[in-house]
Amino acid sequence: MLARFRALAQNQARDMSKRVNTCVNHGGYHLCQDDLTKKLRNQTADLLTVGKTNVQEHRRLQWTTHQNIDLWFSTCKQTLIDLGFGRDAIPSDNVEGEIFFFDGQTNRIVNVDETDGSLDNTTGNKAGRPPVVFVDPTITKGAVDANKRGYSLKVICGSSSAGDAVPPHFHLKTLAQSNAIKKIC
């Protein structure tokens, strides 16, 4: 198993060296060794994370072909027209895009998304893409407290096509047994 891991690591390093050299050679320099790759890896090692690949994100990337994206947008366009939000734009409409939206219709088109929030600093694979965390590598990382109660919340946010924000919705866990004793803040 260890030999297989080493072979995999060497293949990835060799592939990375080829890619770095291709970029540098395109700039007019001629390199064939992996010295620059090793320097880059040493300088950026703290910026890289090691872990499992995100299978869902990988599938999204495989799906995003020109044909699929074109199909998605043409279907979306036809659906908006069929539902009465607008019509095909003509040059005299002087609009950006392919659809002329009727008055007030862009306020009725909303996009919402949910994300998982944790109240106890634990993580899970729920509610869309994992959060992105920005960290300054020059600041030391302190200890993190975690309350192991297992509470999580969903935050649902969005906006309309007109650019107006949809009020956020926080979906919290409750121990209430009936609607009469649930509290809404």
User: What would the pLDDT profile of 57-112 be if each residue is shown by its tens digit?
Assistant: 888 888 889 999 999 999 999 999 999 999 999 999 999 999 999 999 999 999 99
Longest Cα–Cα distance of the chain, Å, equals: 75
Q: How far lies 86's CA from each of 78, 97, 122, 133, in Å?
A: 10, 12, 45, 39
Check residue 175 and give left, alpha or beta (phi > 0: left; psi -120 to 50: alpha): alpha
Tokens of 139: 């600041």
Q: What contacts 33, CB < 8 A, 6 or more positions away?
A: 17
pLDDT for 53 equals 66
Proportion of the chain above pLDDT 70, given as a percent: 62
Proportion of the chain above pLDDT 90, given as a percent: 28
pTM of the model: 0.46
pLDDT for 56 equals 81
Span 158-181, average pLDDT: 82
Residue at token pair 């959060």: 131
Mean pLDDT comparison of 34-43, 102-111, 121-130, highest-scoring range: 102-111
Residue spans of alpha helices (H) in 27-130: 35-44, 55-63, 66-82
Judged against a pLDDT cut of 70, whether residue 120 lies above it is answered with: no
Tokens of 157: 């946010």
pLDDT for 119 equals 57
Tokens of 18: 């080829």
Residue 89 DSSP symbol: -
Q: What contacts 122, CB < 8 A, 6 or more positions away?
A: 146, 148, 150, 152
11 touches 34 (CB < 8 A): no
pLDDT for 8 equals 42
C-alpha to C-alpha distance for 46 and 64, rounded to whole angstroms:
30
pLDDT tens profile 138-165? 766 655 554 445 566 788 899 998 999 9
